């Protein structure tokens, strides 16, 4: 393909985190630049026929809002069947930035504002909380306790767990044996908790009944908690997590006094509640663009998981709702302003 500059790229058909294109291009392709045009070429997968090579000539004057994220590059096309976004992946971040430098620098007013607000938000959380030690500590603690419970179930003379029915890394645990061990380790067992063993409201937050249980919870904790810890700060985040978790455990045992409940999900719902409380406050330091994006991510997650909790009988939705409400209330009390000192409004 002729052109002043040529780049090898990879196109993607879809996915929330992938740079997509409206032409049905997928796989290896190329981008070539001419003085007035950008020519993108790749294999078209938009029909049931065999993929075939296709090229599209895009006018430079229609290209706006060029941005890169690592090796990914995206730009918008104005006035072409409405506004469209074209994206693809280059070899690395340096190559993406090199191509971006050759494309038009024009930005729409809306994009420029959103971009500035994102930059300001990341500058603020970098200033206040550049790392997330609590999240890594919680992950290590939860996984470590699960591993210790796994070791405690080893048979005499170190018999492999795979030879013991019901207790493998991926096998379901026998319900009765599992309940007994979880109760021994501090599960939120209703009759015991309500009889004065209130410490179970805390210990149950760090226990999990199966490999899938802890895997899903730790993934959610990592995905949600890393940002929330940076927004609240590590010490406030610890308080938010513990308050939300205890509220979830308390709601669980009050809703069902015969419950035998474990898991971090009440605390995880609580940190989402704390996030929603934080971003609704005036002078929070979270720009409107980020508020909109966070709500758009958090609300569907909550709606899906709460709905699923009502559909699946073994899900402790009382703990989810209790953690969510507790985290929301605690979030109001623990929230701080993210404005940096030199930018703090009068």
Q: Is 265 one of the catalytic residues?
A: yes
Is 65 in contact with 43 (CB distance < 8 Å)?
Answer: no
Cα separation values, 166 from 144, 148, 161, 199, 206, Å: 20, 17, 9, 29, 21
Tell me the C-alpha distance between 327 and 273, whole Å. Answer: 5
Q: Which residue among 320, 332, 337, 339 is the active-site one?
A: 320
Tell me the C-alpha distance between 71 and 52, whole Å. Answer: 25
Sheet of strand 72-77: strand arrangement: 52-59, 37-44, 25-33, 5-11, 84-89, 72-77, 63-69
Cα separation values, 4 from 14, 40, 64, 275, Å: 30, 13, 20, 48
Q: Which residue among 170, 265, 284, 314 is the active-site one?
A: 265
Beta bridge partners of 41: 30, 55
Cα separation values, 267 from 121, 153, 163, 245, Å: 25, 27, 35, 4
Q: Is 184 one of the catalytic residues?
A: no
User: What residues are labeled active site?
Assistant: 265, 320
């Amino acid at each position: 393909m002729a052109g002043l500059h040529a780049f090898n790229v990879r196109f993607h058909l879809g996915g929330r985190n992938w740079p997509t294109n409206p032409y049905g291009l997928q796989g290896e392709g190329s981008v070539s630049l001419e003085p007035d045009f950008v020519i993108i070429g790749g294999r078209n997968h938009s029909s049931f026929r065999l993929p075939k090579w296709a090229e599209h000539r895009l006018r430079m004057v229609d290209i706006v809002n060029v941005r890169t994220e690592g090796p990914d590059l995206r730009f918008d096309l104005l006035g072409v069947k409405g506004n469209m976004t074209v994206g693809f992946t280059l070899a690395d971040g340096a190559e993406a930035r090199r191509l971006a430098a050759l494309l038009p620098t024009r930005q729409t007013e809306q994009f420029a504002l959103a971009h500035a607000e994102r930059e300001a938000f990341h500058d603020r959380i970098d200033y206040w909380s550049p790392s997330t030690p609590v999240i890594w500590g919680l992950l290590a603690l939860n996984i470590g306790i699960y591993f210790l419970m796994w070791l405690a179930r080893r048979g005499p003379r170190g018999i492999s767990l795979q030879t013991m029915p019901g207790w493998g890394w991926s096998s379901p645990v026998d319900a009765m044996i599992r309940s007994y061990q979880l109760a021994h380790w501090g599960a939120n067992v209703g009759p015991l908790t309500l009889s004065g063993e209130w410490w179970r409201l805390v210990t149950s937050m760090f226990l999990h009944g199966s490999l899938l249980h802890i895997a899903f919870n730790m993934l959610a904790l990592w995905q949600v908690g890393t940002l929330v810890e940076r927004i609240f700060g590590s010490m406030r985040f610890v308080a938010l997590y513990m308050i939300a978790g205890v509220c979830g455990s308390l709601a669980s045992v009050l809703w069902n006094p015969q419950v035998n409940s474990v898991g971090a999900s009440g605390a995880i719902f609580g940190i989402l509640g704390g996030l929603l409380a934080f971003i609704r406050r005036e002078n929070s330091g979270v720009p409107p663009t980020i508020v909109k994006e966070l709500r758009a991510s958090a609300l569907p997650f909550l709606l899906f998981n709460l709905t699923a909790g009502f559909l699946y009988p073994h899900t402790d939705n009382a703990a989810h709702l209790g953690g969510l409400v507790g985290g929301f209330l605690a979030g109001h009390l623990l929230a701080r302003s993210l404005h940096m000192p030199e930018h703090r409004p009068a």
